Structure formats: C-alpha cells, structure tokens
Copies of this chain bind each other. A is one copy, B any other.
C-alpha cells in the first residue's frame, strides 16, 4: 500500500461567491469519488466548508489544515484536523501537502496558495472564468499552471496527470 493521493482545494472563506461554493461542492464530490483524499484549509466557511461537505456526502476522506490552535472554526465535514496555530503561514503547508493544488475561485489567501504551490513545483489547476487572473499567474510562471472552467474538467485534468 502506498501513501494516499491528496488533492488540495483552495478558495475564499467568508468572501466566497455562490458559484465558488457550488464549484467547491462538486470538486469535493469528484475528489472523493475518485478515491483521493481532500485537503483544504479546514474552516467552516466558503470553499473550505463546501468542498468538505461535497466530499463527505460522497464518502470521501477529508483533511483540514487549520490556521487555529483549536476547532472553533473547524468544518464539521473534516475527518482529520491538523491544528497549526500559524495563521496564514499555514497556507504553505496546504500546498506542500497536496499532490495537486486546485484553486476554486480567487481571494487573497487563495492567491498566496497558488504562487506558493508554483514555487514548490506542484501541479496547479486554476478553476476560474476570469481572464485577468489567468493572465497574471501565467505571466509570473509561463507554462506552470493549467486552467479549467468547470469542476469535472478539473477532475479530468487530475486523472490525466496520474496515469
């Protein structure tokens, strides 16, 4: 038996849009159905909460890397909680611990995770319909990221990487 494959889903917390949460639920479900472990920032809001709920409903295993020292803001759909007490410095742990990093929407924390993931040499998929975001990251690291416009396309891209 080998270490499980871990897919990190990163996205906004309190500021997440309806579309970002809907995408996140579908991504969580897709990750779980593929048999991968879902990793997220673990909080009970936004993309984190939606992705964990999606994975939980599909019978998946979920890992949350919390910025906090305790579970006050922990999603109830996280199976294994890692409490870092490191605030946003934990974002680097999120990406280092993921075999593939998916950004689901955009925010300040999400942007930090994308650039740290590229810097760490991780496979990064940007789920976004905003041309400006794609251009920015593509400009910083040409050819280092992939782009998707729907959750099932993200899952297909990951499947293709793992062949």
Contacts and interface: CB of A to CB of B under 8 A. Distances in A.
Interface of A: 1-4, 6, 37, 56, 61, 63, 65, 69-71, 74, 76, 78-93, 96-97, 106-109, 111-112, 115-116, 118-120, 132-133, 135-136, 139-141
Contacts of A87: 69, 85-86, 92
9 contacts: A3-B78, A4-B79, A82-B97, A86-B89, A88-B116, A108-B115, A109-B119, A111-B111, A112-B115
B83 A96 contact: yes
A126 to B, nearest CB: 13
A80 B141 contact: no
A79 B97 CA distance: 12
B112 A108 contact: no
A147 to B, nearest CB: 16
A56 B76 CA distance: 26
Contacts of A61: 80
Nearest to A106: B140
Given A71-B3, A120-B69, A132 B136 contact: yes
Contacts of A84: 89, 93, 96
Contacts of A96: 69-70, 83-85
